[in-house]
A and B are shown apart, each in its own frame.
Chain A
Amino acid sequence: MDGCPAELDGAPDEALLAAFAGGEARAARVLTARLAPRALAQAARMLGNPAEAEEVAQEAMLRLWRQAPDWDPGRAKVTTWLYRVVANLCTDRLRRRGRVSALDAVAEPEDEAPSVAARMQDRTRADALRAALADLPERQAQAVALRHLEGLSNPEIGAVMGCDLRAVESLVARGKRGLIAALAPRKAELGYDDD
């Protein structure tokens, strides 16, 4: 954060966005450091592909810069807005992937060292989960990802998705049932024989 005054570093996201809209380029530097890694992590958890995740996070941040001059501070928190944009972009991509399982895209391990094998096992499990998420109805996939991958509370998910608590609970519960139905037959393949 070189060259950023302390008042910018400590300012709320909404104030920084307003400063950016007023021509303060340094505000974008602070917002980028705060929000871009979070958007990237969200996209990566949903998509499982680092390159695609970077594209999605960059696109979401671009939309944020574009939105800045028209930002309505009373409408939503910047983080809530960004979660929604990233989730929408990711579910679009997951749907476009269709039923092509992310599992197919996983490279075989080149090194048989135990740590590498363990990492590949984790990667395989994560990819299997994403493939199952891709097959869920869009809003169920979003609600499950926001709850269990991003760790948002149900009220926060309601704010992101524009629905009430009961709808969030229902979407998450139905989404999880759908995931179990899709993944339970693959238990052995995913290394969960011992359960």
Chain B
Amino acid sequence: MTMTETPDDKMLERLFAAARADAPVASDAFLAQVMADAAAMVPPAPVPAPRRRGPLAGFVSALAGGWAGLGGLAAATVAGLWIGMAAPDVLHRIAPGLYGDPVSVPFGIDQSAFLLEGDT
């Protein structure tokens, strides 16, 4: 079916054409703003579920004072191990500073107590 196009129809077609040609080009600033909106709304990516700890591990950790307590415990263990393994001469050097000068204590018997009169 062919419809006769009236002058009014022609006018309308030309008005539509004028409006179609009157569209702006998207500016970089506009596109950047749309991207910024998207970046602010991107849903978080799914993360793997954390590994489950046994009840005993949680109990021990809590007993030791959490991570801070466990850290202190580890440091003390290393220090104790060092002291135990260190060479004795190191201890000899630091012992006078801690306990004072060495003192000799004789455990022998005083012979003079058994001497007879006139003996020398």
Contacts and interface: CB of A to CB of B under 8 A. Distances in A.
A80 interface: no
Contacts, number: 118
A179 B34 CA distance: 34
Contacts of A33: 31
Nearest to A20: B42
B15 A190 contact: yes
B24 A36 contact: no
Given A22-B46, A36-B26, A195 B11 contact: yes
Given A22-B43, A126-B18, A32 B38 contact: yes
Contacts of B115: none
A95 interface: no
Interface in A141-195: 148-149, 151, 176, 179-180, 183-184, 187, 190, 192, 195
A22 B42 CA distance: 8
Contacts of B45: 22-24
A62 interface: yes
Interface residues of B, number: 32
Contacts of A130: 19
Chain A contact residues: helix, strand, loop or mixed:
helix
Contacts of B15: 125-126, 128-129, 179, 183, 190
A45 B20 contact: yes
Contacts of A123: 18, 22
Contacts of A37: 25-26, 31
A61 interface: yes
25 contacts: A22-B45, A22-B46, A25-B38, A28-B35, A28-B42, A31-B38, A40-B23, A44-B22, A44-B23, A45-B19, A48-B22, A61-B34, A61-B37, A122-B18, A125-B19, A126-B22, A129-B15, A149-B19, A151-B20, A179-B12, A180-B9, A183-B11, A184-B11, A190-B11, A195-B10
Interface of A: 20-25, 28-29, 31-33, 36-37, 40-41, 44-45, 48, 50, 53-54, 57-58, 61-62, 65-66, 68-69, 122-123, 125-126, 128-130, 148-149, 151, 176, 179-180, 183-184, 187, 190, 192, 195
